[in-house]
Amino acid sequence: MPEIRSVCIFCGSSPGLDPAYTLAAQELGALLGQRKITLVYGGSSIGLMRAVADACLENGGHVIGVMPQGLVDREVAYAVLKEMYVVENMSIRKQKMADLSDAFIAMPGGIGTLDEIFEVMSWNQLGIIDKPLGLLNTNGYYNHLYAFLEYAVKQRFVRQEHHENLLIHTHPDALMSLMEKYTAIQVDSKWIDDLKRATSKHLNRK
């Protein structure tokens, strides 16, 4: 089981439609601060990103921001942060956040958040990292995404093990508990051979 000393939070630069999203961000940030778990995030001063950072700081936590120069130039960097990494681009940003973090939580967010979720899932799948990833499913925000992944498993584009390694819960404390108990379900090392056989079978159909 992993020792979680830092968590990377992926979430929206918008507060979203429902105030419940901001409340969940504040609850999660407070939880991290109280547990002295470092919050790593995108360094923004707006949206859910600001809410989770403020709550962590207000509860005695440490917050690290990571932001590409292009966004810093647009004046959305959170100036109160004592530790901020300014990087060249979004790809380097994601790599830096991953390097700084023992685990990942995705709150509701937009295209950037979805990109970050699937990047981490892909890295875990390929063995580049082995770190828990959880979805904070406030108001059922990720219900459809989770159902889509179940469909992708049925269509044999996603392995069941990789789907099950994605944790999900509606409450921050319960999600953290799942992540602290996380042990990745390992995929049989022959999975590439299985794909080769499946490819050959389909290509040889007449």
71: in domain: yes
Residue 109 to residues 106, 136, 156: CA-CA distances in angstroms? 8, 11, 27
Per-residue pLDDT of the chain (206 residues; tens, 9 = 90+): 568 999 999 999 999 999 999 999 999 999 999 999 999 999 999 999 999 999 999 999 999 999 999 999 988 899 999 999 999 999 999 999 999 999 999 999 999 999 999 999 999 998 899 999 999 999 999 999 999 999 999 999 999 999 999 999 999 999 999 999 999 887 766 667 777 777 777 777 65
76: in domain: yes
35: in domain: yes
CATH at 196: 3.40.50.450
Residue type, 10: F
58: in domain: yes
Q: How far apart are the first and last CA of the chain?
A: 49
46: in domain: yes
Range of the domain at 171: 6-203
180 is written with which tokens? 């602290």
98: in domain: yes
Domain count, the chain: 1
Alpha helices in 59-110 (DSSP H): 69-73, 90-100
Whether 66 contacts 43, CB under 8 Å? yes
160 is written with which tokens? 């069941």
1: in domain: no
151: in domain: yes
Q: Rounded to the nearest 5 degrees, what angle is found at the Cα of 100, between the Cα atoms of 7 and 189?
A: 85
